[in-house]
Chain A
Amino acid sequence: MNAKEKARERTTALKRLREEHAETVARTQALLKEQQAFRKKLRAAMKGGPKTIPQIAAASGLPSDKVLWHVMAMKKYDMVREVGRDADYYQYQLAEEVAE
């Protein structure tokens, strides 16, 4: 199969998948939007130095269990670093701030 035929086959397959999975794609898009809005608030609250999960939750008004989940997700994908400790809590900071 040459490159052109391969590209055509891929386009057809994607079109078919978009049709077949229209509902799950729409649901995932809604989830992504929700996550992006959450992350925007989270990032804003995390600015300006190391913070614990309760501190981020208080600054953002977001629930602390969800803050922890997102911070851990961001940490896994190198967007957040664990930088220290404050009593019973670890402190986290945005990766770009740590690098500065």
Chain B
Amino acid sequence: MAEERLRVDALVVGGGIAGMQASLDLADQGYHVALVEREPSIGGKMIALSKVFPTLDCCSCITTPKMSAVAHHENIHLFTYTEVKTIEPNGGSYLVHCVEKPRYVDTGLCTGCRQCEYACPIDLPDPFQMGLSAHRAIRVPFSTAVPQKAVLDIDHCLLCGKCEKACPVDAIDFTQGPQDLVIEARAIVLATGYETTPRDAKAEYGAGKLSNVIDGLMMERLLAPTGPYLHVLRPSDGKEPDSIAYVQCAGSRDETLGVSYCSRVCCMYAIKQAMLLSGALPMADITIYYMDIRTFGKGYEQFYQNARAMGIEFVKAKVGRITEDEYRNPIVRVEIMEEASRVEERKHDLVVLSVGMLPAYDPRPLYGVPIAEDGFVEAACPNIAPPMTAQPGVFAAGTATGPMDIVDSIVMAGAAAAEAAAYLERHDGEAKTYAGRSISMGEKEAIHA
């Protein structure tokens, strides 16, 4: 059976900001890159954020051009909705077997017009909006998705054919199945990112059952101009909240959850969101319950001081429990740790859990790359070359290696690209078939398996 094989210099796994940056940095140097993303669009977590600390730049405005640059770069082969299944060493390179999941949409024909989405009768929780609003079984994942193509979720499809009838270009294709693809790569960059601590992780905080106790990513969506409600409203009844509280370290520095580390971004994103809320809801009271405020980056401490000056209330306190009253207002039981420690119960309209970062992917089974005690990719030489892993030719970048913000993810992606490029140059002679970039790189060829 003929199998499609793509020869490239580097495979990048994960199309968040780190994976996109590593791909672009390698591609700009003339290396051919295959970027494999498991979701139907690249962009990672960053494309769902509202604005970024400390500059308060619009996140979509920064991320969308990068996504577009990746999709249009002549040296980048982009595979979305694709997962790596197996990897075998192949004399100086890796043979990476991938499966592209069926979209049941011919992407060559689909124009992203969304008529199929409007025709589909079923509403499902939209993960891009953190479940706060709906999307359909067939949909374009979000307004700035790359590629801007529809994808059908077969597990929630009625197979009613309404999308087929609505599609003006006959792009719906129920005959599609998983597509095998083999990528031969001389180096690999893992940029598989992070997940957040689940909102239901702590029984004391309502175990995800209190609708007005949301997490940081949900608030990002509420604040985004493309958010689920187009306003900041609380999920229980659509009220514009007058009083909003943040609970810091809700999932970090917490041995009961097995997360002993600091997630590094939560203080800053809470401060950022509090500032954005002050703009969106000028009359609202905003309180941040914290253990310590950690503002480690350039300009971060000033950002924090600006927030204090804006009137955001910072309360050094431990939150022991969150319950709700009969109107579903969250009641926060706090131990205030100021001069005289005391326990208080405070009522708010909305509570935001500043959830921490967890690794999104275990690279051990497929890549043989060890993980550290915290579950993130272990650096082989943390002080000399942080992106290097214990596997030759395999590098890691961004939050796949540990909690970090966007600036650090981008810096590390650049470092991973530089390490990978140096590795490719060092090993040019060894792998003769790959030596002349101009001859063999990025060529697709059929092999007979």
For the complex, give the distance between the alpha carbons of A32 and B156 in Å.
10
Contact B158 A29 (CB under 8 A): yes
Which residues of A have CB within 8 Å of B291? none
Of B87-95, B116-124, B424-432, the one touching chain A: B116-124
Which residues of B have CB within 8 Å of A77? 118, 136
Instruction: Indicate whether B196 reaches chain A with its CB closer than 8 angstroms.
Output: no
Contact B235 A65 (CB under 8 A): yes
Number of interface residues of B (CB under 8 A): 32
Contact B159 A53 (CB under 8 A): no
Query: A28-B122, A28-B137, A76-B133 given as contacts; is B237 within 8 A of A64 (CB)?
Result: yes
Contact A32 B159 (CB under 8 A): no
Instruction: Indicate whether A83 reaches chain B with its CB closer than 8 angstroms.
Output: no
For A81-96 the 0/1 string (1 means CB < 8 A from B) is 0100000111000000
Of B50-58, B226-234, B333-341, B373-381, the one touching chain A: B226-234
Selected from A29, A31, A68, the residue in CB contact (under 8 A) with B235 is A68
Query: A17-B174, A28-B158, A65-B211 given as contacts; is B239 within 8 A of A72 (CB)?
Result: no
Instruction: Indicate whether A47 reaches chain B with its CB closer than 8 angstroms.
Output: no
For the complex, give the distance between the alpha carbons of A28 and B158 in Å.
6
Quick one: which of A8-67 are within 8 Å of B by CB? Answer: 9-10, 13-14, 17-18, 21, 24-25, 28-29, 31-32, 35, 52-54, 57, 64-65
Instruction: Indicate whether A73 reaches chain B with its CB closer than 8 angstroms.
Output: yes
For the complex, give the distance between the alpha carbons of A69 and B121 in Å.
16
Contact A90 B233 (CB under 8 A): yes
Query: A13-B174, A68-B238 given as contacts; is B231 within 8 A of A21 (CB)?
Result: no
Query: A24-B155, A90-B231 given as contacts; is B123 within 8 A of A73 (CB)?
Result: yes
For B149-165 the 0/1 string (1 means CB < 8 A from A) is 00000111111010000
Selected from A54, A65, A73, the residue in CB contact (under 8 A) with B133 is A73
How extensive is the interface on chain A, given as a class?
20 to 34
For the complex, give the distance between the alpha carbons of A18 and B159 in Å.
7
Query: A65-B211, A72-B132, A88-B242 given as contacts; is B175 within 8 A of A13 (CB)?
Result: yes
Which residues of A have CB within 8 Å of B123? 35, 70, 73
Contact A69 B122 (CB under 8 A): no
Which residues of A have CB within 8 Å of B360? none
Contact B242 A21 (CB under 8 A): no
Closest-by-CB residue of B relative to A52 is B238
Query: A72-B132, A73-B133 given as contacts; is B175 within 8 A of A10 (CB)?
Result: yes
Instruction: Indicate whether B204 reaches chain A with its CB closer than 8 angstroms.
Output: no
Query: A32-B121, A35-B123, A90-B233 given as contacts; is B158 within 8 A of A25 (CB)?
Result: yes
Contact B118 A14 (CB under 8 A): no
Contact B154 A21 (CB under 8 A): yes
Contact A28 B157 (CB under 8 A): yes
Q: Which residues of A contact B (CB under 8 A)?
A: 9-10, 13-14, 17-18, 21, 24-25, 28-29, 31-32, 35, 52-54, 57, 64-65, 68-73, 76-78, 82, 88-90
**The 6 A-B residue pairs with the shortest CB-CB distance in the complex, in nearest-first order:** A73-B134, A53-B238, A64-B237, A13-B175, A72-B133, A13-B174
Given contacts A24-B155, A76-B133, 13 further A-B contacts (CB under 8 A): A9-B175, A24-B154, A24-B157, A28-B122, A31-B122, A35-B122, A64-B236, A65-B211, A65-B235, A65-B237, A71-B238, A72-B133, A82-B230
17 examples of A-B residue contacts, CB within 8 angstroms:
A17-B159, A21-B159, A24-B155, A28-B157, A32-B121, A32-B122, A53-B237, A54-B239, A65-B235, A65-B237, A68-B233, A68-B238, A69-B133, A71-B238, A72-B229, A73-B133, A82-B230
